[in-house]
Amino acid sequence: MTPDTPADASARRPALTRGRIVRAAIALIEREGADALSMRRVASELDVAVMSLYNHVPNKDALLEGVAEHVVSGMELQDDPSAPWQARARALVRAFRTVAHEYPRCMTVVLTRKFHTTVGLRPAERALALAEAAGFDGVTAVRIMRALMAYALGAQMREIGFGKWLHHLDTSPAADFARLDAGEFPHVIALGPVLARHDPEADFEFGLDLLIGALEALPRAADV
């Protein structure tokens, strides 16, 4: 045994890379939430001085960008171009949902960052491809892509808790519904039991069905 040789040391603590830093950040966020992420915490997680990180990442913002891009690049975008475009559209939107379930606490970061690489273009390309296959013209294809993205993002926010405007009802339904002004919120009160029931999967599919169904009803270039 030759302890403490450089080879040994690097085996115990592999070379610092951007990838290792990003993965440590992701692990930290999933474990303690996005608020717990700090350059200092990541550094100590990697057993390294804070400033060492700056040799591989220009600043914290860039690190968060790296986190967002890593997560999105994990989207499973296998596609069967011969399948009906409706099925392809469903699979695409669900792929975003799947990755969101894989990195639930990182989603706040993903939904909040702009991308500076092409990683965000992969889902866009898919959406445009299937819209074209469905027979829509270019302008419509772009609008379809944007509508699908809007729904995917918004539905995810609702599930995470973003935009969860009924939060105090979700947590202690019975007690809170009773306290509501019956004159102001008659429907909320009447539907209290339904609102308290949670089936995010069904909610998500309901909205997705609405959108896909609406696209089927849309006039297409192929019809002309």
CB of 123 to DNA, least distance (A): 29
55 binds, among DNA, a second copy, none (CB under 5 to 8 A by kind): DNA
Q: Is 51 in the site for DNA (CB under 7 A)?
A: yes
Task: Identify the H or E element spanning 123.
Answer: helix 121-133
Q: Is 39 in the site for DNA (CB under 7 A)?
A: yes
194 binds, among a second copy, DNA, none (CB under 5 to 8 A by kind): a second copy
112 binds, among DNA, a second copy, none (CB under 5 to 8 A by kind): a second copy
Residues 156, 159, 161: CA angle, nearest 5 degrees? 110
Q: Is 18 in the site for DNA (CB under 7 A)?
A: no
164 binds, among DNA, a second copy, none (CB under 5 to 8 A by kind): a second copy
Choose between 102 and 132: whose C-beta lies nearer to a second copy: 132
Residues counted in the chain = 224
Q: Are the beta carbons of 106 and 34 closer than 8 angstroms?
A: yes
52-71 residues in contact with DNA (CB under 7 A) are 52, 54-56, 59-61
Which spans of this chain sit near a second copy (rule: CB under 8 A)? Answer: 72, 108, 111-112, 114-125, 128-129, 132, 138-139, 141-143, 146-147, 149-155, 157-158, 161-169, 180-181, 184-188, 190-191, 194-195, 202-203, 206-207, 209-211, 213-215, 217-218
Query: Of the candidates 163, 162, 131, which has an alpha carbon nearest to the alpha carbon of residue 146?
Result: 131
CB of 142 to DNA, least distance (A): 35
Size of site (CB under 7 A) for DNA: 18
Query: Of the candidates 153, 154, 131, which has an alpha carbon nearest to the alpha carbon of residue 212?
Result: 131
Q: Is 27 in the site for DNA (CB under 7 A)?
A: no
Cα–Cα distance for residue pair 221/213, rounded to 1 Å: 17
Q: Are the beta carbons of 39 and 53 closer than 8 angstroms?
A: yes
48 binds, among DNA, a second copy, none (CB under 5 to 8 A by kind): DNA
Query: Stretches 48-56, 113-121, 125-133, 194-202: which one binds DNA (CB under 7 A)?
Result: 48-56
Cα–Cα distance for residue pair 179/101, rounded to 1 Å: 34
DSSP 153-209: HHHHHHHHBTB-TTHHHHHSHHHHHHHS-TTT-HHHHHTHHHHH---HHHHHHHHHH
Query: Of the candidates 134, 36, 123, 34, which has an alpha carbon nearest to the alpha carbon of residue 84?
Result: 134
138 binds, among DNA, a second copy, none (CB under 5 to 8 A by kind): a second copy
